[in-house]
């Protein structure tokens, strides 16, 4: 081959090799964590860059949580029949405010599913207590409780688990000088070499990797590592205050290369294959060709690196010249994808009225069918002026990073043609208000177990928004219409943040018109300022609706008198008959103590005095039987209105303000007055 042709060939060869190997091998490093890259399930949370897997409580509780890296990782290449090796390093700490309260430990796992969440207790958050073999996984357990059911050797061991919590091999960590429950930061290294079929685990209190592994297992994982797998951590407790923290994490796969696989059909590791191609000797000029090939083998990557640096520099300069709005799009909204207006228009049949599935204060929601992927989504269409668009994009970036099983997940967005379009997961059972108030005979009545699960799920997601996010999120518009139900009737909170985003330039007077009468806390009516306590008030009204099957404000049958749900339930409570507020359509098919607790929690959250309302974390603990209920006074603290008009509830909610079609009451902007709380 002439030298010039050989030069071109080797250059293209190096480019091909570089892209092939880099496309298949994965590497990431997180010295600290952000919500952008992870899905948090169960009780897991993020605080100050550290991942917590189980609840941080001062009292013993049962808890399970999972954190999963968002992107699937390629472990198997079906074309070359090769499986990747991998190595990972992470630091963790297992602490306990009550050392006598023993928890269950944590695990690092690989799973084909990105929704792996097991039961609390001795299941390490990996498997369900009722279906121990349902979840598929490869896991390294750091177990801090001896469970004879799973043949644990002691309460301080490391083990390899494959699709079962009965470990294939374990080792006593204390025998190697490691106390998993010491509360100290422990660094773990896990190395798997597929060519050697060997898995090694190292542990140290320092950041220096020991020479000898704490556990070495001769095992081939090829048949368990699917083409795409998810990696993450899980943990659980059972009646314990044990807390599981992940402080940093790095991970990489290696061993994939299309070139290697074609030259060597067997599955081999990096250090057994040379990367320089073999060129057959044909004549006396072959030595020259060899030298040229070797030189290009060295110069090629250097040239490519220089090209990347130049390309990066030019790209950076270009990005800085883009307008602020586009900068937000490029730099902040990296999670959800950007849809084009055309594909959303096609998916909704041109936003046809037959595709409308709901209306909100800030837009209309359409059902969208994406023919290319065969998926269904919900598209929210909001007309939006240019003012405040920068603030919108900045705050939307926060919303896009939120991850919780009880949040409607944002899939993507589009800002074109003067419109704002948001794409969410589609919820097949619609909104909670439609399920609660559907006409008899037009659908199944929500059972008590579903209602109780809805109350707990909403408490969990509001705890996450208020206390477990890096930046606190106040929803501002919690109502049954914004609570959606998935296929299993699990609650998903939607429309979070949009009310606040759309009202940046509005006064408290116009802010009132965005809320829904009956859900608005008194101090919000007075000052127009939303806090986590105003969210708590709205939550209290919602769970009273769930328990009673009545709207926040209804006209009394046969009259024009308006009845406030909170007042009505509190009246029954003052008479010692609060259980009579239960939805009559349930015909007594509920647990009376659970119903009583839910009604009283609703009243405590809807207390006119914001200082007396519990936090959402406390509400969640009460509903999970982990804390005592808040005492609810027999008489509701009363309200007095100080204004020039002698207003009553009927006057505030005039006929014009009551929307019979949507059955929502909204405050009239002409009826504004100060509200004072008088505690009795």
Per-residue HEC secondary structure of 220-245 comes to CCCCCCCCEEEEEEEEEEEEECEEEE
Residues 6 or more apart whose Cβ sits within 8 Å of residue 104: 121, 122, 123, 124, 143, 144, 145, 147, 235, 236, 237, 238, 240, 242
Domain 432-634: top CATH class: mainly alpha
Q: Quote the pLDDT of residue 476.
A: 82
Q: According to the annotation, is 169 in a ligand binding site?
A: no
The fold adopted by the segment(s) 28-254 is Jelly Rolls (2.60.120)
Q: Which of 407, 358, 404, 398 is nearest to 380 (CA)?
A: 358
Spans of all domains in the chain: 1-25+256-321, 28-254, 331-425, 432-634
- The span from the CA of 226 to the CA of 206, in Å, is 33
Q: Quote the pLDDT of residue 299.
A: 64
The active-site residue out of 104, 152, 477, 535 is 477
Q: Which of 114, 113, 139, 116 is nearest to 128 (CA)?
A: 116
Residues 6 or more apart whose Cβ sits within 8 Å of residue 584: 549
Rounded to the nearest integer, the mean pLDDT of the chain is 77
- The span from the CA of 185 to the CA of 94, in Å, is 8
Q: Which residues of the chain have pLDDT under 50?
A: 3, 6-7, 17-23, 258-286, 321, 323-325, 327-334, 385-388, 391, 497-514, 641-680
477 part of the active site: yes
Provide φ and ψ at 392, rounded to 5°. Answer: -60, -50
Q: Quote the pLDDT of residue 613.
A: 93
Q: Quote the pLDDT of residue 503.
A: 38
Contact 340, 350 (CB under 8 A): no
DSSP labels, 636-650: PPEEEEESSS---HH
Q: Quote the pLDDT of residue 333.
A: 43
The domain 331-425 having CATH identifier 3.30.200.20: the answer here is: yes
Contact 626, 57 (CB under 8 A): yes
Residues 6 or more apart whose Cβ sits within 8 Å of residue 218: 197, 198
Report residue 409 CA to chain centroid gap: 8
- DSSP 3-state assignment of 554? strand
- The span from the CA of 240 to the CA of 96, in Å, is 8
């Amino acid at each position: 081959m002439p030298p010039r042709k050989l030069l071109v060939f080797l250059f293209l060869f190096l480019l091909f090799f570089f892209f092939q190997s880099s496309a298949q091998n994965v590497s990431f490093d997180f010295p600290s964590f952000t919500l952008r890259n992870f899905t948090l399930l169960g009780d897991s949370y993020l605080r100050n860059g550290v991942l917590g897997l189980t609840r941080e409580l001062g009292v013993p509780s049962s808890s399970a949580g999972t954190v999963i890296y968002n992107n699937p990782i390629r472990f198997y290449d079906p074309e070359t029949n090769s499986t990747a090796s991998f190595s990972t390093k992470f630091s963790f700490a297992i602490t306990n405010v009550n050392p006598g309260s023993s928890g269950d430990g944590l695990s690092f796992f690989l799973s084909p599913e990105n929704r792996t969440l097991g039961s609390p207790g001795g299941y390490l958050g990996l498997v369900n207590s009722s279906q121990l073999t349902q979840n598929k996984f490869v896991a390294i357990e750091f177990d801090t409780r001896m469970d004879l059911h799973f043949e644990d050797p002691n309460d301080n061991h490391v083990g390899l688990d494959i699709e079962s919590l009965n470990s294939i091999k374990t080792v006593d960590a204390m025998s190697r000088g490691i106390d998993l429950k010491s509360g100290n930061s422990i660094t773990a290294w896990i190395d798997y070499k597929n060519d050697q079929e060997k898995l090694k685990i190292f542990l140290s209190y320092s950041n220096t990797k020991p020479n000898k592994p704490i556990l070495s297992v001769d095992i081939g994982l090829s048949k368990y590592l699917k083409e795409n797998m998810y990696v993450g951590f899980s943990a659980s407790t059972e009646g314990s205050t044990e807390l599981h923290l992940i402080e940093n994490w790095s991970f990489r796969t290696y061993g994939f290369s299309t070139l290697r696989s074609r030259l060597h059909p067997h599955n081999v590791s990096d250090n057994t294959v040379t990367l320089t191609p073999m060129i057959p000797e044909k004549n006396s000029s072959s030595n020259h060709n060899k030298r040229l090939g070797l030189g290009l083998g060295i110069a090629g990557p250097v040239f490519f690196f220089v090209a990347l640096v130049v390309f990066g520099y030019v790209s950076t300069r270009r990005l800085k010249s883009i307008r602020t709005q586009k900068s937000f799009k490029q730099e902040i909204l990296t999670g959800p994808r950007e849809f084009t207006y055309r594909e959303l228009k096609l998916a909704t049949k041109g936003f046809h009225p037959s595709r409308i599935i709901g209306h909100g204060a800030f837009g209309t929601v359409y059902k969208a069918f994406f023919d290319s992927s065969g998926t269904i989504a919900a598209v929210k269409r909001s007309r939006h002026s240019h003012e405040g668009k920068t603030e919108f994009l900045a705050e939307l970036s926060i919303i896009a990073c939120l991850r919780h099983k009880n949040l409607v997940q944002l899939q993507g967005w589009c800002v074109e043609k003067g419109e704002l379009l948001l794409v969410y997961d589609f919820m097949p059972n619609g909104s909670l208000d439609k399920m609660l108030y559907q006409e008899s005979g037009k659908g199944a009545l929500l059972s008590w177990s579903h209602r109780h699960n809805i109350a707990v799920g909403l408490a969990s997601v509001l705890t996450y928004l208020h206390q477990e996010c890096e930046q606190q999120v106040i929803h501002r518009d919690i109502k049954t219409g914004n609570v959606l139900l998935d296929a299993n009737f699990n609650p998903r909170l939607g429309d979070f943040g949009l009310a606040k985003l759309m009202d940046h330039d509005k006064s408290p007077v116009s802010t009132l018109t965005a809320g829904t009468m009956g859900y608005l806390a008194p101090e919000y009516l007075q000052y127009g300022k939303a806090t986590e306590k105003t969210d708590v008030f709205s939550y209290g009204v919602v769970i009273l609706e769930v328990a009673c099957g009545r709207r926040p404000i209804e006209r009394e049958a046969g009259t024009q008198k308006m009845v406030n749900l909170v007042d009505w339930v509190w009246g029954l409570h003052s008479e010692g008959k609060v259980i009579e507020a239960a939805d009559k359509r349930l015909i007594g098919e509920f647990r009376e103590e659970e119903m009583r607790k839910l009604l009283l929690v609703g009243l405590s959250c809807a207390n006119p005095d914001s200082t007396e309302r519990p936090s959402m974390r406390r509400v969640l603990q009460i509903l999970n039987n982990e804390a005592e209920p808040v005492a609810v006074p027999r008489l509701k603290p009363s309200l007095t209105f100080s204004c020039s008009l002698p207003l009553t509830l009927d006057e505030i909610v005039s006929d014009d303000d009551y929307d019979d079609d949507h059955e929502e009451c909204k405050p009239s902007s002409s009826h504004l007055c100060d509200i004072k709380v008088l505690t009795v």
